[in-house]
Structures are given as structure tokens and as C-alpha cells.
A = this chain, B = another copy of it.
Amino acid sequence: MQEKRAEMDKRLSSEAISVLEVPVHDQHSTYPEPFASMIKGRTKRRLGDFFNLSNFGVNLTHLEPGAISALRHSHSKQDEFIYILEGNPTLHTDDGKSKLTPGMCAGFMAGSGNGHQLINESDKEVIYLEIGDRTPGDTGSYPDDDLQAAMTESGWQFSHKDGTPY
């Protein structure tokens, strides 16, 4: 029902809206367990989809205290970009951890192999914009976990690092 409402709310015109008018996407993480449960406290509004954009996605993402953006990962073909709007997330990459503030940004070039994630280690909510394209044939690498991902026509397909399916 909420899905239906979101669909109806989609703008076919180019009328601007406040980002908070976009419904929270209620789909849970597509990770297999035990990883899916680690994504509690993360909510996304799919701003780009709301305007029927298909070449890239723009999400407004909230992280409650303790929540993470994703498992630490890198993409083979898709670029990613984040812009911090509110709060102080910790960016964790191969280069270590650093505390971010509003007005900071980072880009994660496809194929760099540098795994990244945001962690809300603060006691206040974190809000940021995340942007990613939709280049087909993408794969995801997870340096800290026994997980790998391949984008298929039906979505992300996850397996153990030795190829065994979950």
C-alpha cells in the first residue's frame, strides 16, 4: 500500500519538492544474513527514482546512531559519490577512518578497489546524499566480509568469496 502510494506520488513533471516529501523506501537490505541485520537504522529516500531518473540514483539516506551505510565495499564499474548534509559520520576506507562534517564530500571511483562505508559512531542522526550510476555488469567486493556480489537482471546476486551461493 505504501509502495502504491509512493508510485502515485512520483512526479511526471519537473515540479520541485522538499526531499522529505519523498516516501522512505521500505525495502530491507538485499544482503544475505547475517549481513542484512547489520543494516538496521539506515533509511533511504530514492530521490532520483521519484523523478523517474534511470541513468543514476540519488538517495537521501539517514543513519541512526550506530548504523552503517553498507558493508565496506567497492564497485568494479559504477562510480559513487557522497555529500554530507547533517551529522558526523565516520568514513572507513583502505586509508583508515576519518570523521566527516556537513559540507564534506567523497567520491569512490569505479575499479579503484578501495572499500568504503560510513559508520555513525556519534550519538546524533547522520543525513547524506549518495549518488551512483547504473552501469550494467557491476560487481561488488567486500574486503572485510566473506561476501561478493554481481549485478544481474534480477538484482544483486550474493555469494561467498569461493563462489558458493548463500
A interface residues (Cβ-Cβ under 8 A, vs B): 11, 13-20, 47-48, 50-56, 58, 78-79, 81-83, 91, 93-95, 98, 100-101, 103-110, 112, 114, 116, 129, 131, 133, 135
Contact = CB atoms under 8 A, between A and B. Distances in A.
A98 B28 CA distance: 35
Count copies of this chain in the complex. 2
Given A14-B95, A53-B109, 20 more contacts: A13-B93, A14-B93, A16-B91, A16-B98, A16-B100, A16-B105, A18-B104, A18-B105, A19-B83, A19-B103, A19-B105, A47-B81, A48-B81, A50-B107, A51-B107, A55-B56, A56-B133, A58-B105, A58-B107, A83-B129
Contacts of A100: 16
B16 A106 contact: yes
Given A19-B83, A79-B48, A81-B48, A107 B56 contact: no
15 contacts: A14-B94, A16-B82, A16-B91, A16-B104, A17-B105, A18-B104, A19-B103, A19-B105, A47-B105, A48-B79, A48-B81, A50-B107, A55-B56, A55-B78, A56-B56
